[in-house]
Structures are given as structure tokens and as C-alpha cells.
């Protein structure tokens, strides 16, 4: 028997940012003025902000010290060389091209590798990743296992690739039509679900057989590596840093949004092992991002990122990060709140169809629930359901996605266990009073990505 030790934070707090409590009457007014859309709230009117884990991490004192050491030379900044060697040391990729954020790297690799008519299989799509593949003339094909689309499946590695789906696609289209397989660690759109090392090794073996590359979306690779350590046979004794290195070694290139696991507010990079692709990427980065030694980042941002990477791979850090998310998830489950299972690594996803069974999907249950949680406690969440899914291009009808979710995304190192308790208390209170929640009517609908700016009224 090992001694019990909770996931408590491996840091202490030395600077705070005050947040303001508001009254329920004030919040009713704020959300009404925001058209019942949490994206349109002002952040000063939010008590606990769970809109996203992107760019919202708290930086360490070391990272802030790094900000002061920014070498803002146009070319050859010291901070670039520090970032480059950190990426080589911790991830093992040979060549590095910095970009302003993850989508900048996705743009470069898509333009370089994808030709008109190509297919890009992947373990579920991500919005910006797929869009860049399509803009380069490719078609994304979902080859994730079926369990990933089922909110009730308890399968531990819902980020796994279905090897049959992948091989069928390769045989059908031909390996020359598939420039690479796109592998995300963890899978954001499936609710922060990991891929197993066993599955990734099998994907490597299969792609090697056909001479196809793997491009790794490594935005949340530390969280994925931690889940492998926790759940997969043979990894419990290994440091997370070693698991990360093996994941990266099984892939040929990587795109990174450093706004997530890497603990900074802005930045990203493309990392590559092939020298020719690197040369091409260095050519292109100058056109779209900036010179190849800054790629849209300030020197100080590259320094904070280099330090953030070293902190993000520490076992104590990642255990506390995922531990906090799971603490909230377990608490909600214990109160009978319907959430997506298993609990992911960066947030909790409430099943709004089950939470509000009296509302039909065209009454926007997830949108209504996010507004209701805000009114109750000032906790800001977001909709991932029919509003996010948009309309069918041909028929003009709403898309009716299977998953109608409210996302509670937890920023890294920002909130305490007491905040998690308040969030859970609020969701529980709203759940007890769920029968009085009415649906919404959309009164303004933007043409693109409507969830950001759509406005609603209570029915």
C-alpha cells in the first residue's frame, strides 16, 4: 500500500488578481444585455472564467523573470536559441520554426504538404486544423474510434485511431493521396480524451508500411502523456517527460499551440525532422508570420515559452493540473450531473440534453444552461452544441449534433479547490431547479462561426 497524497498544487501564490462578485440581479441584466451568449459578457462581470484553457494559464515567477530577459533583436534573438534547444531537448524534434500561435504552424505545414485532392485522416477534427487542410485543397477524414462519438462510453483511450478505418482509406484513395496522418494529443473535440501509446505505435507501424508521415498536434501532449502514465500498462513508473519524448519520437513533425499545455498566453511553433520540409517552412514563415527566428513572437514571449515547456512536463505539475479537473468532474458525477465520460484532461463537458430533457434541441439547451449557470454564480462556461454546429450549407437548416454540451474549461494554475467547490455547488443548484429553465430563441445570427456573436431571447 502506498501512502495517500492528494494532487495539491506544487506551488504557492505570490501575486493575486482580484475578481469581483456580482449580485444575481446584476447578472440577470448582464446576460440579457449579452443576448444570453457568454462570449458577449465583459470579463469584469465574470467571477470564475471557464470559457477556455487557451492563453489563460498563470505564469510562474521564472517565466515572468524570463519576460524581463527578452532579447528583442529582429534577427537571431538569444531567446529563439533557448526555445529551439528546449524543444529539441524535451520533444526531440530536430528543426523548429516559431509561429504566432498554433494555427500559424497549421497553415505552414498544410501549405507545404497538402496538394489539391489529397485526404488527411485524423483522430477527430479540430476547427482551425481542418480549415487549414481544406484551404490547402485537402479533405479531412475522421478515423477516430467510434467510442469517441459516444458520451456514455467509458473507454479510457477515446483518442485512439481505428486502424481499420485508416487502412481502408489508404487502400481506397492510395498512399500517394495521403500526405500525412494528423494525430492530436489529447483530442480536444472529443472532450480532452487521450490516445494510448500502444495505438500510436500501431499507427506508426501502419503508416511506415505505406510510407506516410504523421503530423502531431501536440497542443496538450503533457496531459496525454500523464493519462498514459495513469492508465496504460508499463508506464506508471516512467516520468511524464520520458513518455512525451516517446510520443514525439513516433511522429515526423508537430504543430503546437503553446497557449495550452506550454503555460503561456501567446505563441506556437512547427517542429520537423525532415530537413527539406524545414527549409520550405523557413521560406514560408517569412511571408506569413515573421522572420524564422521569431515567427510572430516577441523575444520575451519565446523566453517565457521555453521556461513554460520545462515546467509543463514536470510530473508534479501535470498531476495537479489533471487532478484538479478530475476533482471537479468527480464531484459533479457524485451529485448525479450528466457529464461526458471518462472525465477529460482540460475540462468537464455537461450533457445538456440529459440535463434539460424538457427542451428540444432547437430551443438551444446548452446555450440556455450556460446562461443559467452564469446567472446563478457568475461562472462563465460555453456552449458546444447546436449553436456551435452551425447550419447545413445546402438546406440552410440547423445541424443537429449528437453532442449538446456545456464546456467548463479549467485554466492552468489559476483557480483553487475552493473555486472548484463553488462551481460544483452552482451547477448542482441549477440542476435541482432545472425544471424551471426555459429555452431560448435566436434573434441575431452572424454568417460565420455564429456561436461567437449570436444573440438570444428567453422563450
Ligand X SMILES: *Cc1c(COP(=O)(O)O)cnc(C)c1O
So which residues are the catalytic ones?
Answer: 74, 126-127, 217, 260, 384, 451
Residue 3 is placed in which grid cell?
501512502
Residue 257 CB, nearest approach to ligand X (Å): 3
Shortest Cβ contact with ligand X: which residue? 102
Report the candidate in 258, 259, 315, 303 with the shortest Cα–Cα distance to residue 86.
303
Nearer to ligand X by C-beta: 63 or 129? 129
Residue 272 is placed in which grid cell?
520537423
Residue 98 CB, nearest approach to ligand X (Å): 12
Q: How far out from the chain centre does Cα 12 lie?
A: 26
Residue 220 CB, nearest approach to ligand X (Å): 7
Residue 63 CB, nearest approach to ligand X (Å): 18
Nearer to ligand X by C-beta: 110 or 257? 257
Contact 453, 408 (CB under 8 A): no
Rounded to an integer, what distance in angstroms lies between the CA atom of residue 322 and that of residue 49?
18
Residue 446: DSSP 8-state: -
Residue 264 CB, nearest approach to ligand X (Å): 10
Nearer to ligand X by C-beta: 46 or 262? 262
Residue 310 is placed in which grid cell?
520545462
**Virtual torsion, Cα 411, 415, 416, 417, nearest 10 deg:** -50
- What is the phi-psi region of residue 227: left when phi exceeds 0, alpha when psi lies from -120 to 50, beta otherwise? alpha
Residue 262: DSSP 8-state: T
CA angle 23, 26, 30 (to 5 degrees): 135
Concatenate the DSSP letters of all residues of 347-398 into one string: EEEEEHHHH-TTS-GGG-HHHHHHHHHHHHH-EE-EEESHHHH-B-TTT-PB
Residue 295 CB, nearest approach to ligand X (Å): 13
Nearer to ligand X by C-beta: 170 or 189? 189
Rounded to an integer, what distance in angstroms lies between the CA atom of residue 240 and that of residue 229?
7
- Give contact residues for ligand X (rule: CB under 6 A): 54, 101-103, 126, 128-129, 184, 188, 217, 219, 257, 259-260, 268
Nearer to ligand X by C-beta: 260 or 353? 260
Nearer to ligand X by C-beta: 86 or 99? 99
Residue 328 is placed in which grid cell?
471537479
Buried b (16+ CB within 10 A) or exposed e, 102-122: bbbbbbbbbbbbbeeebbbbb
Amino acid at each position: 500500500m502506498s501512502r495517500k497524497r492528494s494532487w495539491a498544487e506544487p506551488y504557492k501564490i505570490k501575486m493575486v488578481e482580484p475578481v469581483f462578485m456580482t449580485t444575481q440581479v446584476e447578472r440577470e441584466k448582464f446576460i440579457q444585455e449579452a443576448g444570453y451568449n457568454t462570449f458577449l459578457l465583459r470579463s469584469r462581470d465574470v467571477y470564475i472564467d471557464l470559457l477556455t484553457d487557451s492563453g489563460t494559464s498563470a505564469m510562474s515567477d521564472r517565466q515572468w523573470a524570463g519576460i524581463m530577459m527578452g532579447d528583442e533583436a529582429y534577427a537571431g534573438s538569444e531567446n529563439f536559441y533557448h526555445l529551439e534547444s528546449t524543444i529539441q531537448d524535451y520533444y526531440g524534434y530536430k528543426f523548429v520554426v516559431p509561429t504566432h500561435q498554433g494555427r500559424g504552424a497549421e497553415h505552414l505545414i498544410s501549405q507545404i504538404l497538402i496538394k489539391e485532392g489529397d485526404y488527411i485522416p485524423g483522430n477527430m477534427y479540430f476547427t482551425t486544423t481542418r480549415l487549414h487542410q481544406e484551404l490547402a485543397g485537402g479533405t479531412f477524414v475522421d478515423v477516430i474510434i467510434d467510442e469517441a462519438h459516444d458520451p456514455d462510453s467509458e473507454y479510457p483511450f477515446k483518442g485512439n485511431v481505428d486502424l481499420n478505418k485508416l487502412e481502408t482509406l489508404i487502400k481506397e484513395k492510395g498512399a500517394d493521396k495521403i500526405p500525412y496522418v494528423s494525430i492530436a494529443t489529447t483530442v480536444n473535440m472529443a472532450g480532452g480524451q487521450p490516445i494510448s501509446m500502444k495505438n500510436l505505435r500501431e499507427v506508426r507501424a501502419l503508416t511506415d508500411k505505406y510510407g506516410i508521415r504523421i503530423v502531431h498536434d501536440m497542443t496538450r501532449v503533457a496531459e496525454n502523456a500523464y493519462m498514459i502514465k495513469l492508465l496504460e500498462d508499463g508506464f506508471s513508473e516512467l516520468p511524464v517527460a520520458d513518455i512525451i519524448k516517446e510520443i514525439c519520437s513516433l511522429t515526423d513533425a508537430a504543430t503546437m499551440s503553446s497557449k495550452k499545455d506550454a503555460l503561456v498566453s501567446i505563441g506556437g511553433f512547427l517542429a520537423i525532422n525532415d530537413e527539406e520540409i524545414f527549409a520550405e517552412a523557413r521560406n514560408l514563415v517569412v511571408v506569413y508570420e515573421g522572420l524564422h527566428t521569431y515567427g510572430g513572437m516577441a523575444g520575451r514571449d519565446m523566453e517565457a515559452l521555453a521556461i513554460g515547456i520545462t515546467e509543463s512536463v514536470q510530473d508534479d505539475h501535470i498531476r495537479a493540473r489533471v487532478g484538479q479537473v478530475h476533482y471537479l468532474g468527480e464531484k459533479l458525477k457524485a451529485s448525479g450531473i450528466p457529464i461526458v465520460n471518462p472525465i477529460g484532461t482540460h475540462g468537464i463537458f455537461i450533457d445538456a440534453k440529459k440535463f434539460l430533457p424538457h427542451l428540444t434541441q432547437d430551443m438551444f439547451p446548452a446555450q440556455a444552461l450556460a446562461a443559467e449557470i452564469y446567472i446563478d454564480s457568475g461562472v462563465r462556461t460555453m456552449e458546444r452544441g447546436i449553436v456551435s454546429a452551425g447550419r447545413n450549407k445546402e438546406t440552410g437548416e440547423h445541424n443537429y449534433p449528437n453532442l449538446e454540451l456545456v464546456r467548463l474549461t479549467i485554466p492552468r494554475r489559476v483557480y483553487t479547490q475552493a473555486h472548484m467547490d463553488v462551481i460544483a455547488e452552482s451547477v448542482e443548484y441549477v440542476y435541482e431547479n432545472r425544471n424551471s429553465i426555459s429555452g431560448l430563441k435566436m434573434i441575431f445570427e452572424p454568417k460565420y462561426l455564429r456561436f461567437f456573436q449570436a444573440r438570444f431571447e428567453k422563450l
